[in-house]
Amino acid sequence: MALTKDRPGGSPRSGRPRFPAGNRTPSAPRALPRWPRVATPWLFLAPVLVLFGVFKFWPTLWGMYLSFFEVRPYLGNRWVGWDNFSTAFHDAALRSAVEHTVVDALVTVAASALLGFGLALLLEGPARHLRILRTAAFLPVVTAMVAVAELWNTILYPGGYGTLNSLLGHLGLGPEPFLSSPHSSLASVMLIQVWKSAPYDMVIFVAGLAGIDRQLYEAAAIDGAGAWHRLRHVTLPSLRPVTTIVLTLGIIRGLRVFTEIYVLTGGGPAGSTETIVTYTYKQGIQNNQLGMASAVSTVLFLVTVLLTCLTLWWRRRKEA
Amino acid sequence: MSAPRTSTTGSTRRRRALPMAALAITLVTASTALTACGGGSGGGSASGPLKVWVRGAGDSQKAYQMVFDGYTRKTGVKVQLFMTNTDFETKLNAAAAAHKLPDVVIDDGSQLGAFKSQGIITEVDQAKISGASQVSGAAWKSVADDQGKTYGVPFSAQANVLLVRSDWLKKVGMQPPKTWADLEKVAEAFTTQDPDGNGKNDTYGLAVPGSTQRGYLSWFWSNFLYQAGGNFLEPTGSGGFRSVIDSPQAVQAAQFLEKLYCTDKVVQPGALNNLTTDTNKAFQTGVAGMYLTGPYAYATMDATAVKGKYDVVAPPAGPKGTGSLAEGTTVYAMAGSKRAADFDALASYMVSPEAQKTGMTGVPTSTIVRLPINTTVDPATVHAGDPRWQVAQQVYAKSSTYEPVSAPGWETYRSDASESLNKMLSGCGDPGKTLASLDSQYRSLLKK
């Protein structure tokens, strides 16, 4: 393809020798002295960074610090070294919570990405009816999770007269216990998560699809590529950066899944839907073990950062 | 974005920017997992209004305000009320960390052990509470710690009673259950004999809040435990506790619950995830016909279609006889407060017959005083013409037991019991083994 043709011609930035400060022309006002040039982006970022610093970064660091203490808000914290971490690592409940979280994250990330991609292919385009459909499909994302969870609670009611169960009843199936049996509860909450996050992935994919150069499709069609080949060799490779974003966001979302599970099952029955964050919540808020909860959160944080770095490394290797 | 960006510099820049953006997003989103929430106001000033925090919601705010207005009229001291149900303990933690605790906290009696081990409540001198002698002995015992010292003043008491659908009983031709065997029979009839007459097999015998959140299942099951003659912990006599959760009596109670759930299958579907609200709904909407709960449920139930369609009786007798879970609301004096005299005056007012009556009937939709802790107040007279309160009073006075709330960190024991029982029911596992492993959990907690 035309790789060099439409480079912005004559851009002052393309030439190596920069304009010396004294040689500034009226048409190049952005050639400022060095320090304001460096500072400008930071000045623009400053308000957000300050907010994040106060509400995100500082509490994060504080949480890490607290993981080495027995937290006693009033009496003063007591240093316990690595005790919180070792208690957490030896807790079978946390181990099974980790298993559930990993299964949940993998399945929901893959399923939402696939479904989101499928929806994006179907609903991409500028036509008005597609826009309406896209909006409709996006609704689960913007609906409050607590409301959504209550709705699903009714749909998945385990008795014979639950919405889904009465439908199954007409087909001569069921009633299924869904959320109320430890065998089907995790699958049920995963279904709801996919329902909620697939449209989110769809929107990112739609943006990605819109960014693909149409000429690539035309060229491929001229070369005799069918629909499948165009998808396989043009669409998918062009969407690689977008896919990275979708997967990264999905993994983070999966690892810290909380609201849907807390509202739907509270981690039960028999701990079958307990995830890392619901476990942390129980330890910290219900059992008042804030130090231990901080320790678990710290590990989760480090694992998330590590996984993200791995995803990025993998993508860069693929791109290279 | 739609214009093809094909310059090589653009693509490397983008390649570099994307990972950085993703990393930044990760750091930001992941960090929220660590972010704790806090808020609320508090403080220990020596003058001005007395700061009182109450765990509660809805109409109880009005009811508490009426009680506090009475106190202000008497003493001239104003009360600044803060009330919430959401994250109450978290907010209290934040206030404790800032050393700005309110002067008074009104919360469940079961918080005593937790509050005491956090060091946020102070001892109360009974001699300084006027009217202390009118407060029942059982109520005073419920605010005593493991050494017998008083940590708080009781405000309200209650014991669980059994709500039974009277119309369903008529339909199946049975009497309200008096024993465990009766309970099973009625529950089975409610489940199998279509008591609502809609031609569908959609009713159940017993409504059970079986979630592990906040220890619901353990809280419910403790009724059976006391009816069997068991307990969770027992005082050693030398200031400590020992675990008795694997006693034959406790095993019997666990077996009974499991029989109802796994063998007889008379419990409402989804019970193991149900909190109070869900369980209330099961009773209100005719899914389940019996419900063991506190007398505060009268107001909740009477606001729905089930009003007038249920009887209130004493919980069924188990192998040991009648038993019921007793609970209470306690007025705690908070650490760091400079208002000890005002606390004593407020507590003295709150146990007085006047305040107790206001709490019972001031706001009909919210009985913040369920059963009076003041022995000179007769609940049946106050709730004239409502014999259900008499039932509750009799159960409380004759056959109720408080959880061992003075055990340091009692919430953890309750939560562990809930987890174990929930696991046992969902897998229909062996009650003996379940309680044996719970016992070893209790032993290691007691060692701490």
Q: What is the pLDDT of residues A62-95, one digit of tens each?
A: 999 999 999 888 888 899 999 999 999 999 899 9
Q: How near does any CA of chain B get to the CA of A213, in Å?
A: 6
Q: How near does any CA of chain B get to the CA of A119, in Å?
A: 20
- At residue B439, does pLDDT exceed 90? yes
Between A11 and B276, where is the model more confident?
A: B276
pLDDT band for B10, please (50, 70, 90 cuts): very low
Between A173 and B125, where is the model more confident?
A: B125
**B161-172: pLDDT as tens digits:** 999 999 999 999
Please give the torsion angle defined by the CA atoms of residues B197, B315, B253 and A288, in that order, rounded to the nearest 10 degrees. 100
**B14-55: pLDDT as tens digits:** 444 544 444 444 444 444 444 433 333 444 567 889 999 999
Q: Which of B6, B273, B336 sits opposite A179 (nearest CB)?
A: B273
Cα A148 from Cα A133, distance rounded (Å): 20
Cα B190 from Cα B290, distance rounded (Å): 9
SS3 for B31-58, per residue? HHCCCCCCCCCCCCCCCCCEEEEEECCC
Between B159 and B22, where is the model more confident?
A: B159
Are the Cβ atoms of A159 and B212 closer than 8 angstroms? no
Best residue in B273, B276, B279 for a mutation probing chain A (most A CBs within 10 Å): B273
pLDDT (average), residues B278-283: 94
Q: How near does any CA of chain A get to the CA of B101, in Å?
A: 9
Find all residues with CB under 8 Å of B440, minimum gap 6, and list them. none
Restricting to A residues 127-146, those with a Cβ less than 8 Å away from any Cβ of B are none
Q: What is the pLDDT of residue B386?
A: 84
Least CA distance to A301: which residue of chain B?
Answer: B30
Q: With contacts defined as CB-CB under 8 Å, which chain B residues touch A160?
A: 200-202
pLDDT < 50: residue spans in chain A = 1-26
* A217 alpha carbon, distance to own chain's centre: 30
- At residue B6, does pLDDT exceed 50? no
- B372 neighbors B356 (Cβ within 8 angstroms): yes
Q: Which tokens belong to B66?
A: 């009426």
Are the Cβ atoms of B23 and A312 closer than 8 angstroms? yes
Least CA distance to A302: which residue of chain B?
Answer: B30
Angle between helices B216-228 and B248-258 (to 10 degrees): 120
- By CB atoms closer than 10 A (0-12, 13-18, 19+), residue A11 is exposed
Other C-beta atoms lying within 10 Å of the C-beta of residue B174: 17
Single pTM value for the model: 0.82
Q: How near does any CA of chain A get to the CA of B61, in Å?
A: 24
Q: Which tokens belong to A291?
A: 């130090």
Q: What is the pLDDT of residue A13?
A: 43
* Interface contact A287, partner B, CB < 8 A: yes
Best residue in B12, B23, B34 for a mutation probing chain A (most A CBs within 10 Å): B34
- At residue B13, does pLDDT exceed 70? no
- At residue B355, does pLDDT exceed 90? yes
Q: What is the pLDDT of residue A194?
A: 94
Mean pLDDT, chain B, whole residue set = 88
Are the Cβ atoms of A56 and B23 closer than 8 angstroms? no
